[in-house]
Amino acid sequence: MIYLDSKVEISFEGVDQRVFDSYPLEDWLIAVENEFKVSKNNSWSVSLKFLGKKEMQSINEKFRSKNSPTNVLAFPSGTNLITEAGFLGDIAICPEIVFEEAEHQKKDLSHHMAHLFIHGVLHLLGHDHEQSDNALIMEDLERKILSKIGVADPY
C-alpha cells in the first residue's frame, strides 16, 4: 500500500507495483484540485487500485454484469458523493488494458493513464457519459484538466 500526499491510497492486485513508478500522479492530483473545490475544506481522498485483467474482469462482472476486463471503473463512496471525511471513493485501473489501448490508439501511455485517472475522479464526483449531453460535459472537463498537465485531447 502506498499513500500519496494523503490524497490517494494506492494498492496493487495482480499487477507489479513498479507500474506506479512511471506515472506523475501528483501532477494529476493538482490538476483535479485546481479545477474543483472537491470538499468544503478541500480535504479529499480516493483509493486507486491497479488491477490485473483477471481481477478487473471479476469486478466488472460482479458490478456491471459484463464478463470482460475494462480499462477503468469508479465506485463513489456513497449517495452524497463526498463523505464527511472527504473520501470520494475507489478507482480501479487495469494497466495491461491501458497499455494495449495506448499502443493500439498510438497514444502516449502516461497521457492515456492520466486521462483514465481523471475520468475516474470525474465519475466519483458524479459525472457520467451514458447520455450524449452528459458525455459532452464530462469530455469537456477532461480536456480542460488534461490540457493543464500537457496532455492532448484524448478524443
pLDDT in tens, the chain (155 residues): 454 555 667 777 777 766 666 667 767 777 777 776 544 455 677 888 889 999 999 999 999 999 999 999 999 886 555 555 677 889 999 999 999 999 999 999 889 999 999 999 889 888 888 777 888 999 999 999 999 888 989 98
Beta pairing class for 72-76 and 87-93: antiparallel
Q: Which three cell numbers stand for residue 69?
A: 476486463
pLDDT for 13: 77
DSSP symbol at 144: H
Q: What is the CATH number of domain 2-148?
A: 3.40.390.30
Contact 147, 104 (CB under 8 A): no
What cell numbers appear for 119 in the block? 475520468
Residue type, 135: A
Sheet holding 45-51, edge to edge: 2-4, 8-13, 45-51, 87-93, 72-76
Cβ-based neighbour number of residue 101 at 10 Å: 16
